[in-house]
Amino acid sequence: MKIVYMGTPDFAMKPLEALLNNNYDVVGVFTQPDKPVGRKAILTPPPVKVVAIENNIPVFQPESLKNGEGVKILEELKPDVVIVVAYGKILPKDFLEFAKYGCINIHGSILPEYRGAAPIQWSVLDGKEFAGVTSMQMNEGLDTGDILLVEKTRIQPDETSGDLYERLTVLGADVLIKTLVAIEKGELKPIKQDDSKSSYAKMLDKSLSKIDWNLSAIEVHNKIRGLDPWPVALTVYEGKNLKLFRSRLLNEEFNKPSGSVFQSKDGIIVVCGDKKAVLITEVQLEGKKRMSALDFSRGAKLTDGIVFES
């Protein structure tokens, strides 16, 4: 089976590596153009391009697929199937229908829930019990194609989006190989998505970062772990932004105003709107390095009774 692979970020690396480790014939890789990274704007290749070059696979980085350039490349490569994992561009109809088995997408949610750009983050932000990966036969809609295979995993109580992201990229590689094996055996039975059960996972942005301590402790906890590693939850301490990376829920109640701070041997306790609290364990003050919340509280001489701004 000749495969064209399309992907860009690190989430797409392990599925590509799984194809190579299982001796699939990857005849070409599409990925986004190189982009400037960091303060020095160093032109940097996408992670998937790095893997492709290391394995001597031809790499294609068209600015657009709408002008027919993508199909011309497919005509040269003659793939049996196109695999798409977080590629980042809309695929036109002629591209979707070119290969014998069409285009198959590996998506980081349990479809039809969380279609769109940030399914992993929103599953944590919304406090879901389960996350997963779906392989899908792509059509012209946004993650609306028929479902091929689904694998689920339980989200751990203190797991961040970054933690879950790492686990799902491994799960995505497994789902991809299982899907291809089923295709080769003719065992797949595509299932149409129930649009009435769909939801949309919009892209994250920095406007989501500010913590409202009037929310319940579980809502605050989910926001802190859901926004890690980006854009990161934050509060304000002495007029400076304080980033909050990791937290835990506490069982006890505190008869103090929302945002009230207490020191703990494990970090910083902050009271929330339901009088319950979260324990913050990792922070970063504006202009400083990331550190344990305990070290920060000692250095900042954080005293009981201080209130974080909402």
Tens of pLDDT, residues 235-274? 999 999 999 999 999 999 999 999 999 989 999 999 999 9
For residues 57-71, give the mean pLDDT.
93
For residues 51-58, give the mean pLDDT.
98
Q: Is residue 129 pLDDT above 90, yes or no?
A: yes
Q: What is the 3-state secondary structure (H, E, C) of 120-150?
A: HHHHHHCCCCEEEEEEEECCCCCCCCEEEEE
Mention every residue, 6+ apart, whose C-beta is less than 8 A from residue 131: 108, 109, 110, 119, 120, 123, 124, 152, 153, 155, 164, 168
pLDDT of residue 81: 98
Classify strands 25-30 and 59-60 as parallel, antiparallel or unpaired: parallel
Classify strands 130-137 and 103-107 as parallel, antiparallel or unpaired: antiparallel
Q: Is 206-299 assigned to CATH 3.10.25.10?
A: yes
CB 75 within 8 A of CB 99: no
Q: Is 304 helix (H, G, I), strand (E, B) or coil?
A: coil
CB 64 within 8 A of CB 39: no
Per residue in 211-222, pLDDT (tens digit) is 999 999 999 999
pTM (two decimals)? 0.94
| pLDDT confidence bin for 306, thresholds 50/70/90 | confident
Query: Could you tell me the residue ranges of all domains in the chain?
Result: 2-201, 206-299
CB 274 within 8 A of CB 249: no
pLDDT of residue 300: 84
Residue type, 277: A
Domain boundaries 2-201, CATH class: alpha beta
Percent of the chain with pLDDT over 90: 91
| pLDDT confidence bin for 49, thresholds 50/70/90 | very high
